[in-house]
Amino acid sequence: MGEHRTIHFVSLGCAKNRVDTEVMLGVSDQSGFQIVEDPADAEVIVVNTCGFIGPAKEESVETILEMGTHKETGSCKKLVVAGCLSQRYPEELAGEMPEVDHFLGSSDMLKLRKVLGGAPERMLVGNPAEYTMRADDPRVLSGQTHRAYLKIAEGCNRSCSFCAIPSFRGKQRSRSVADVVREAERLADAGVVELNLISQDTIAYGRDLAQRESLAELLAALGEVEGIRWVRAHYLYPEKLSDALVEVLSQHEKVLPYIDMPLQHASDSMLRAMRRGHGGERMYKVIERLRGAIADLVFRTTFIVGHPGETDADFTELRKLVEWAEFDHVGVFLYSPEDGTRSGEMADSVPPEIALARRDELMSVQRPLSRERLELRVGTELDVLVEGVSDESDLLLQGRWWGQAPEVDGSVYLANGTASAGEMRRVLVTDAADYDLMADFIDGPGGRDAPPDAKDPRPPKVKLRTLS
């Protein structure tokens, strides 16, 4: 292909997609390709697409077309489209985008090796989706290398009416505990200190395995990996919370008492329409159980507004839940009709302006609640994982405490001292905003000794859990 073999990646969509991209980065590295930041300098360009909802699909198509221009103006000789969009619409994309040399689906990450090896014929998506990552798959971390997403399963067995993911990601396929632990050990050896567990349906991990391994077993095992300080689980659905899982979340030193549970709605009629498998009463019981069992719990959730049939009364039920629960972090998404879903065929659509107003209202309710939760931390000590120089000011460092997941929650801004990305440092929290904290180092190089009364300038309102 030329004297210098260069490749450029564009990764779109969720953290699960990023892991897939990192596998392809590993394949590229093993194939002798140099990764370049400027697509104009790349002989091969790979776009890993998202096909989840309308705006994501539009972004993916626009990105493909943009990258395609480098075949005319840059060094690009091969344009490769991978991921969910090509898995979901293989024939349509292949017919409408002749400029794309190869289409790889969501199970074709390792097939990039054949493409880079000079596969002469146009490669198309493999069906059905069947790939499950393994610990010995190549992987190169992107972005911050002191933290990593750890994909523990692929696919989903649920039938939520608004979601098309099972149709192109396939049925659930869990990795074994031993295999996930092996990858965690590799990541720890590479300097990773924080693991964020992801899948389509994390609470269902292991149910499809012959030996029926459980999420509780996996979390406990990962918490024993040398070098790992924080283990956080994402995407826990509000059902079948075993006593063992609650215990490991509440008791294990390295398994964070952080719940990421997509509740989606609170009204019985909406939950039935969404085919969530439970009613609104279950939400209250689950939240009460978790708050009662897990000391200093941090709770993140997401909701959908504007689903077909959502009435003012339905939205009022959702608002009541948010007001009552006092979640730490909330994300609100506008409903997007999707091909091949039951919701996409429903009548009684909600006008976009009403859906947008409901989203804004829900976030206006949540904002002061988030701030109140963070204000409980003012005057206390926390361990913070330093991420580097702040995006807000070169005079500040930026990091996260254990109650903030990367990329979706807020940050801790550090006003004194110096530290390197990846350091775990002790801080004194001095102020709180809607989603962020301000803090000072109180330990280590560049920090300061705390004055005698600095540890508790205000009486703490809750018993705080920190990690040694």
Lowest-confidence region among 24-38, 129-143, 316-330, 431-445: 431-445
Percent of the chain with pLDDT over 90: 65
Report helix angle 243-251 to 280-293, nearest 10.
40
Q: Could you tell me where in the chain the CATH 2.40.50.140 domains are found?
A: 376-468
Please provide the average confidence, as pLDDT, over all residues in the chain: 88
- Closest among 138, 190, 169 to 26, alpha carbons compared: 138
- Closest among 258, 185, 245, 186 to 219, alpha carbons compared: 245
Query: Do the beta carbons of residue 366 and residue 434 sit within 8 Å?
Result: no
Q: Could you tell me where in the chain the CATH 3.40.50.12160 domains are found?
A: 6-116
pLDDT of residue 444: 55
pLDDT in tens, 295-341: 889 999 999 999 999 999 999 999 999 999 999 999 999 999 888 88
| Sheet order of strands, 230-233 included | 147-151, 194-198, 230-233
pLDDT of residue 123: 81
pLDDT in tens, 43-81: 999 999 988 788 888 899 999 999 999 988 878 999 999
Find the mean pLDDT for residues 339-348: 88
Structure-model confidence comparison of residues 100 and 391, the more confident one: 100
pLDDT of residue 466: 36
pLDDT of residue 4: 64
pLDDT at 91 over 50: yes
**Predicted model pTM:** 0.89
The tokens for 27 are: 């394949």
Class of domain 6-116: alpha beta
Structure-model confidence comparison of residues 241 and 359, the more confident one: 359
pLDDT at 7 over 90: yes
Lowest-confidence region among 218-222, 229-233, 276-280, 454-458: 454-458
Q: Which CATH number fits domain 147-375: 3.80.30.20, 3.90.420.10, 1.10.357.10, 3.40.309.10?
A: 3.80.30.20
Q: Which CATH number fits domain 376-468: 3.30.2400.10, 2.40.50.140, 3.40.309.10, 3.40.1030.10?
A: 2.40.50.140
Q: Could you tell me where in the chain the CATH 3.80.30.20 domains are found?
A: 147-375
Residue appearing with tokens 């972004």: 59
**Dihedrals phi, psi of 413, to nearest 5 degrees:** -100, 130
